[in-house]
Amino acid sequence: MKLLHLSDLHIGKRVNECSMLDDQRYILNKLQELAIEETVDGVLLAGDLYDKPVPPAEAVSLLDEFFTGLSRSGIPVFAISGNHDSPERLNFGSRLMEGTGIHLAAVYQGAREPIVLWDTHGPLHIYLLPYLKPAVLRHVYPEAEVTTYEDAVAYAIDRWEIDPTQRNVLVAHQFVVGGTTCESEELSVGGLDQVGAQVFDAFDYVALGHLHGPQKIGRETLRYCGTPLKYSFSECRHQKSACLVEFGEKGSVTVRTIPIQPLRDLREIRGTYDAVTAKSFYDGTNTEDYLHVILTDQEDVPEAMGRLRAIYPNVMKLTYDNLRTQSSQEIWGAERPETKSPLELFRDFYQLQNNQPMSQEQEDFLLGLMETIWEGEP
């Protein structure tokens, strides 16, 4: 029995105001090809199918294409909602889709019966647990005395009365203690949404979604597969992958991570303006990649973004790393802002922004400009 573990598609996401829809369409086609090539018996999709609770029409159409392609290839899908999804919207048509092999648990409604697959080793039970908050669980089970996310997940799992002698798989979207995070994720303040790994001990494999970096938590079979694409520059060093999970008899689970290559990578480049625009620097690389350019010039380069985009059309972000940006100073003073003159206020602002005082020439120019403005002269 082979299952492909995917999660956190975030269809419709924009990175630095750039639409990722074409890149998502490309990677979903590649993942469908991978599922067919590996002759998998199903795809586990662990939440955050969309990036927004109300996704744009193009995102809905793309997910429909992905589900339809897998269904027509005879590959069942076992999907749940994540914290970015609207459970009710995602749940629309789910009962109809089951007839095509798309099993979707978007709204938590209590202990839903597992889907059972069969092979020569007998049944394999797949349990679907949508993203769960304590309040959602109490709505279904008013008698439940749960206050934490861990309490809620543990209570939900206990309602299944899982047979430990059988092969059991869980698809879930939670933050498990010990996971490594990155800046593109949406997490609760203070770790309130954390769940202990021991809660999942009853399962032979736990297909997790929520964290964007591929990683295991404690054991090989408690795993985040990560996003199929990089969604922030904090993920530059990630090698994105899909998890192929193969089940033998009870207790025999093999996990293989398969690297996936995007249409355009997301990466950082660093150097002076002259260095990063030299042909020897970018020759042989994909100049269409999404880039964060870090310039080390001591002075800002005029119209740098536009000039860089002549070579790298998908520059998303431009920053400087030099003496001005490396220094961190605070301006202290006993005087309150309202007691200072406009020139003194501008001096303070300039010092804060540039980590150095204004020159006398700059002050003279500023005074002249102020006088011109105030007097209404042309």
Mean pLDDT of the chain: 90
Spell out a b/e string for 123-134, using b for 16 or more CB atoms within 10 Å of the CB, else e: ebbbbbbbbbbb
pLDDT digits (tens, 9 = 90+) for 201-215: 999 999 999 999 999
pLDDT digits (tens, 9 = 90+) for 101-137: 999 999 999 999 999 999 999 999 999 999 999 999 9
Element housing 176 (H / E): strand 175-176
Q: Using 50, 70 and 90 to split pLDDT, how confident is the model at 18?
A: very high
Provide the pLDDT for residue 330: 47
Could you tell me which residue, 325 or 76, shows the higher pLDDT? Answer: 76
**Strand ranges for 304-361 from DSSP E:** 315-320
Provide the pLDDT for residue 334: 44
Among the listed ranges 164-173, 224-233, 240-249, 347-356, which one has the minimum average pLDDT value?
Answer: 347-356
pTM here is 0.82
- Residues 6 or more apart whose Cβ sits within 8 Å of residue 184: 212, 227, 231, 232, 234, 235
CA 346 – CA 49 distance, rounded (Å) = 48
